Structure 1
Amino acid sequence: MSLNVIDLIKGQLGPALVSQAASQFGESESGISKAIGGMLPAVVGGLANNSDNPGVLDAITNASSSGILGNLMGGASSSPVISNLLTSIFGDKISGIVNAIATYAGISNNSSSSLLNLVTGATVGSIGKYAADNNLDKSGISNLLGEQKGIVSSLLPAGLSLASLNIGDWAKGYKFDNDNDAIRTAASEEPKIEVTRSTTSAGTNPDRNNNEGGGSIWKWLLPLLLLIAAGYFLWKQCDKKQTTTTTTTSDSTASKTDTAATTTPVDTSASTATPVAKTDENIDLNGVMLKGYKGGMEDQMITFLKSGNYKNAADDAALKDKWYDFDHVNFKMGSSTDLEAGSQGQLDNLVAILKAFPDAKIKIGGYTDKVGNEANNVKLSKARAEFIKAALAKAGVGTQVLEAEGYGSKFAKVDPKASDAERAADRKMSVRFAK
């Protein structure tokens, strides 16, 4: 799933900033909120459309050290860097955007212009901070921006369209199919600020079925285009569903040294490459039922222990090539201490397995994708492995965890220029039995 950068930005544009901006610009808070809701998708779209622009990439790369996020009201609204960036991505369309947003939100053109600089500063600063925190180079930033082309199309609030913003020319690159749209009628109730919305993929919009400026050709051409777009959308959704609901197991024989599993989809187990449907069910642990997947980590580990293969293994060399990937244990992006929701349950399952087989010993491994500085990747993956080791020790099975190691991107297979969703296959935590 592609990262929606608007989720990174909305924290900078919350109620406190809205209130401060309304006071400074002499506008109503509802007007400022509406303006931000209209500007943010346009700014993100403009950056995405210029994902290979050296000036855009330089501005984002330098944003983390510029302190712009700490002084949005005082710095971004008058920064020449932001002004030059807006000119780079919108050219002569800036005044049209400012006027359209001012009319839509009921604020002055001066307030709209200052607010556009502020929103752009918050956007560039937030993306720059994310890039710095996750060791993204300019190539990684370019990929991240490019992924937004499939996201921003559905984020314009009611009452705005690309046509009303006069940015239809560059927007053709997004295949929005709405260059000729009339402005959608806003609901009688003022919409809430749109920065709270999040989406994972571009969708079709039923409001775009009517063309109010075209000739008769649009009566059949526009529905055809929408039908093609809908078909593509459904195909992409099916493809994503297949990726996220299938687990692959493979036997790793890549090295005589301590190796990780070969590249597998996220939430996979490292044994043979036979697709297994991930069905949530009870996994029998000596009469105790654990919630897990058939063919998932718990199922395979318990089967291995019950088979006697661990007990009969002569030494660690007989165990070192068989890794089991956690199905659910994931860390929040860039963190080595914050687990994503749902992770604790599988750690509890691992504790239960170790307590049921007190003679079993394990080793924890952490892995990253190829993006960023490798030294930092190794450090992050090591810290994550150590965090899991500490969590297991706290649960009373610390003596059964012999080691926690971070491998960084050493065993990553996905190209660093691939999408974030594709690179996620290389970002995982794994466990193997040890002696």
Structure 2
Amino acid sequence: MASTAGDLHRPGAGAPPSEFETATYKKVAWRLSPLLLICYVVAYLDRVNVGFAKLQMSTDLGLSDAVYGFGAGIFFFGYFIFEIPSNVILHKVGARVWIARIMITWGIISALTMFITTPTMFYVMRFMLGVAEAGFFPGIILYLTYWFPAERRGRMTTLFMTAIALSGLIGGPVSGWIMKHFDGVNGWHSWQWLFLLEGIPSIVVGIVVFLVMDDRIAKATWLTAEERELLERNIAKDNVEKVDMPVLQVLKSGRVWLMSLTYFSFVMGLYGVSFWLPTIIKATGVTDALNIGLLSAIPFGAAVIGMLLVARSADKRGERRWHIAVPAAVGALGLVLSVVWSTNTPLAMLGLTLATMGILTTLPLFWSLPTAFLAGTGAAAGIAMINSLGNLAGFLSPYLVGWLKQVTASNASGMYMLAAFMVLGGLLALSVPARMVNR
């Protein structure tokens, strides 16, 4: 039987999607993806550019590795405290206003970090940056559930999260170039220029979001009535088996806590690498800031390819758990190899590339797990809770890596710790019943 505009395609559910449906989702993807991708690139860059600033800032301000690690990670305390209320507000007032507010405030705070002079000021600005950004990432994940059903959302989430890799691919060389060429300009240190020049794009993009983003399908005037009807019908069907739990019930849900621990494990790996990658590369014998920036782009460039290929495979097969667990194991192996080969720059870069590919590939596919059973306000609260608890690893990871490095005078113990968390995350993903998440 020929499919109609309203057909909803699921793997094994019968007729494939019609040409009209395929064209409609392609239209939506091209409308939403570029802006969301740019948003996350500048967001992630503002979050982790402190890793490059450290190359000079630690000496200028007298920051130890432990102080730097604590300051880099305290961002996530502010993030944690305000994450759930921020995401619930977004669900109530709409993504356009709230995402724009988030981006403009964090851009301003990131730029003002150039004026810090003491460890205490460093801690305060990093904490405030976390407060400003709270709700951004889970807000976008929630926003995608308004537009795409589960079988299409995996690739869209992955495309959005390739921004992590792209920010490393673009941000590494750019940050290295700023650090090398702006030192002393206008009497400022290069790390001060880094915070200023990389904070401004967030403000600009936040204004663009306010002007062009549509909160919901019903408000998208660039869609025809037939296209809006199709999209709304598919979202309604996708939500039939989901549970819109009250916020308090979400906070007590065993499933949500399992998801939080799984995500925590993966975020341990992510921020261990993101905040310390320039330092690890420098430890192999590379001293020039621009060369460190260029080398740091390699793992992230490879990660973009790995993320897209694995996500395509997961959507094609309707399988999630092994597509998360296997990259997690690859990430753990890469972390171990980066230690084993730490005195050889090319081999250490190979290990770091495998680690970054594996770690970054797990993250977007992870989000196919909780969004498979949460909907409505329950989804807003649940996604925010998982992200906020998981991102406490963003504090613990850089701090522990810095503390272990200071205690042992080596990066090895920190990398082994991160590898163990990646293995744990993969095992937890496999513990989720396949019937709950595979489509």
The TM-score normalised by the length of structure 2 is 0.21
Q: Which structure has more RCO (C-alpha within 8 Å, separation ≥ 6)?
A: 2
Higher share in strand? 1
